[in-house]
């Protein structure tokens, strides 16, 4: 801490400066002044923390000096050392922030104690100021987050109108008394589990980019922009109330339509918007938010990439679903016979008469349930589990609400059809593989006997033409060629072990040694005897 001493008595001034070991107490004397005017000049240059001064000095008295110092730096600690026991002086000094008023002659210990107490008081005030600054910095750092959380809670209905007013005031958010609000919710389509598209991490990046771009592109339109708990971007438009609220809604619709177009240009994916069906006061915001979310769900009917205004739906009996049992059976047969092209054509025809004609969100969801039930029934009738066939799309059968557009529903149906066809083909191959394995086992077991394609086919209760084609598909060889290959390899191995030609011929099913020799030579290019 730095100390300035202002005292017009030379001997006392020198004594205060040089007879007290200030350094031992962490105090440095940075200036000595013999009058008030010089004291003020030294104060300006040296910027002391503490001033020890007389009350009566030439050029400028102590009271005037106190006022000037306090005007320049209110944190400086002032100590008066006066020869006048004047209550009025003491009162004025204390009113101007003097921390100690001492009378001459004061002892060295008393003076040191007063200066150190002033230093401690200044340190405490500086620490408190530093703590306050850190708190204010933290407040400023967290203020954007707190504002976003406030709006999230507001749109979700956690605050009543009075709480909204009070909290917004605390956060420095202006809410006009006559303001009307319009809610918009923006989202991109989630890729369904079986579709190619952005993963969870990429989707978060897209949604963050959408939020930041919306903030930039909407400026200076009066709107707050936040992300809701589902990572959708919420636009909370605010404007002074109009007599005709439809004009405000039309303005918002126009702004959002242009915004979606620009977002698609930048993000390269369609962005969907749901707009509340009306405007409202600060107590209506959560209701308007719900309307915007419901409007967004109608992209199941209208498709992606557009702004959809909320319309109040008239509750009516659910229309009778258009179903075609004959077409369902035809689809089932096409799938059982692996005729995927035919199955797709049937689905297109059925689609045009049901989900393609849905006029309400409720009707569309009923048809999604219908398709789910039809596909599950076909899979289970074939003896398979849904998870086994559908793989990544299994989650959609568990939660059909993940299908938010007609395009997604259509893709899901066709991927399921592909899965069923693939499963039928796998099952057929598995059956074929088992049959061929039985044939190979027969050949190995009966290699020393007469074995032909016809005898094998009879024993397996199938026709020889089918068996011949099946064997060729699985092994790449004709049945007779395979049997010859196995016989010649076994005969060669038998001869190399030292067996007689006669015995080798018998081992592989030849009774005529001469014929065996002829076949062997044609196959290997040498006679059986030359092998030995």
The CATH number given to whatever domain includes residue 479 is 1.10.10.60
Same domain flag for 465 and 497:
yes
Same domain flag for 337 and 364:
yes
Same domain flag for 29 and 114:
yes
Helix axes 464-475, 453-460, angle to 10 degrees: 100
- In the chain, which stretches have pLDDT less than 70? 87, 139, 190-201, 313-324, 356-357, 359, 428-433, 532
Is residue 429 within a helix (H) or strand (E), and if so which, with residue range?
helix 406-445
Q: How far is CA 126 from CA 4, 132, 138, in A?
A: 19, 10, 18
**CB distance 48 to 75 below 8 Å:** no
Same domain flag for 332 and 416:
yes
Q: How far is CA 469 from CA 259, 427, 455, 463, in A?
A: 62, 18, 16, 10
**CB distance 451 to 442 below 8 Å:** yes
Which tokens belong to 277? 């069906």
338-374 core/surface letters (b: 16 or more CB in 10 A; e: else)? eebeebbebbeebbeebbeebebbebbbbbbebbbeb
Kindly state whether residue 400 falls inside one of the protein's structural domains.
yes
Instruction: Give the three-class secondary structure for 15.
Output: helix
Kindly state whether residue 165 falls inside one of the protein's structural domains.
no
- Residue 101: phi and psi, rounded to 5, are -120, 110
pLDDT attached to residue 118: 92
Count of other CB atoms within 10 angstroms of residue 220: 5
pLDDT attached to residue 421: 86
Contacts of the segment 96-99: beta carbons below 8 A, 24+ positions apart: 96/63, 96/66, 96/67, 96/70, 97/66, 97/70, 98/66
Same domain flag for 385 and 497:
no
> In which domain, by residue range, is 413 found?
325-421
CATH of residue 20: 3.40.50.2300
Residues facing 2 on adjacent strands:
28
442/434 Cα distance (integer angstroms): 12
Q: Where are the alpha helices (DSSP H) in 55-199?
A: 62-72, 87-95, 108-155, 161-170
Rounded (to 5) percent helix, strand, coil in the chain: 60, 10, 25
User: Is this prediction's pTM over 0.85?
Assistant: no
Kindly state whether residue 56 falls inside one of the protein's structural domains.
yes
pLDDT attached to residue 221: 92
Same domain flag for 7 and 111:
yes
Same domain flag for 359 and 478:
no
pLDDT attached to residue 202: 79
**CB distance 8 to 59 below 8 Å:** no
Kindly state whether residue 320 falls inside one of the protein's structural domains.
no
Same domain flag for 330 and 305:
no
Phi-psi region of 58 (alpha: psi -120 to 50; beta: other; left: phi over 0): beta
pLDDT attached to residue 432: 59
Instruction: Give the three-class secondary structure for 175.
Output: coil
pLDDT attached to residue 409: 86
Count of other CB atoms within 10 angstroms of residue 35: 18
Same domain flag for 180 and 301:
yes
Enter the DSSP assignment of 31.
E
Is residue 418 within a helix (H) or strand (E), and if so which, with residue range?
helix 406-445
Kindly state whether residue 191 falls inside one of the protein's structural domains.
yes
How many domains in the chain? Answer: 4
Same domain flag for 263 and 296:
yes
Kindly state whether residue 431 falls inside one of the protein's structural domains.
no
């Amino acid at each position: 801490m730095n100390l300035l001493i202002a005292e017009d008595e030379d001997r006392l001034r020198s004594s205060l400066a040089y007879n007290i070991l200030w350094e031992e107490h962490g105090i440095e004397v940075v200036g000595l002044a013999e009058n008030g005017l010089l004291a003020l000049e030294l104060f300006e240059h040296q910027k002391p923390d503490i001033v020890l001064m007389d009350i009566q000095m030439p050029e400028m008295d102590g009271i005037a000096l106190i006022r000037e110092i306090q005007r320049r730096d209110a944190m400086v600690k002032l100590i008066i050392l006066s020869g006048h026991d004047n209550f009025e002086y003491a009162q004025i000094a204390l009113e101007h922030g003097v921390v100690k008023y001492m009378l001459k002659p004061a002892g060295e210990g008393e003076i040191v104690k007063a200066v150190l107490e002033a230093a401690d008081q200044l340190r405490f005030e500086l620490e408190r100021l530093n703590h306050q600054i850190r708190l204010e910095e933290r407040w400023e750092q967290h203020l954007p987050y707190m504002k976003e959380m406030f709006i999230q809670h507001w749109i979700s209905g956690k605050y009543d109108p009075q709480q909204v007013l009070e909290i917004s005031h605390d956060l420095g958010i202006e809410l006009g008394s006559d303001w009307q609000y319009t809610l918009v919710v923006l989202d991109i389509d989630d890729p369904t589990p079986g579709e190619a598209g952005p993963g969870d991490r990429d989707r978060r990046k897209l949604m963050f980019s959408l939020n930041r771009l919306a903030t930039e592109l909407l400026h200076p339109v009066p709107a707050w922009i936040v992300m809701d708990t589902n990572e959708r971007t919420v636009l909370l438009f605010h404007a002074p109330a109009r007599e005709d609220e439809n004009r405000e809604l039309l303005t918002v619709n126009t702004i959002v339509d242009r915004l979606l177009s620009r977002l698609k240009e930048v993000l390269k994916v369609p962005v969907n918007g749901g707009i509340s069906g009306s405007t409202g006061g600060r107590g209506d915001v959560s209701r308007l938010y719900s309307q915007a979310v419901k409007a967004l769900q109608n992209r199941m009917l209208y498709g992606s990439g557009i702004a959809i205004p909320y319309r109040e739906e008239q509750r009516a009996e659910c229309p009778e679903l258009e179903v075609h049992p004959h077409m369902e059976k035809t689809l089932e047969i096409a799938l059982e016979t692996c005729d995927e092209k035919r199955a797709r054509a049937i689905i297109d025809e059925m689609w045009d008469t049901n989900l393609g004609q849905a006029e309400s969100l409720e009707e569309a969801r009923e048809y999604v349930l219908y398709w789910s039930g039809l596909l599950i029934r076909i899979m289970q009738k074939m003896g398979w589990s849904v998870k086994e066939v559908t793989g990544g799309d299994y989650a959609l059968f568990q939660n059909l609400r993940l299908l938010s557009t007609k395009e997604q529903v259509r893709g899901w149906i066709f991927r399921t059809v592909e899965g069923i066809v693939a499963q039928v083909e796998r099952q057929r191959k598995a059956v074929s593989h088992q049959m061929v394995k039985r044939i190979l086992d027969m050949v190995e077991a009966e290699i020393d006997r007469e074995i032909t394609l016809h005898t094998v086919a009879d024993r397996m209760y199938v026709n020889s033409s089918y068996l011949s084609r099946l064997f060729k598909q699985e092994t790449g060889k004709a049945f007779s060629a395979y049997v010859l290959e196995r016989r010649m390899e076994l005969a060669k191995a038998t001869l190399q072990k030292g067996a007689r030609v006669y015995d080798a011929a018998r081992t592989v099913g030849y009774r005529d040694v001469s014929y065996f020799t002829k076949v062997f030579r044609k196959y290997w290019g040498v006679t059986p005897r030359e092998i030995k």
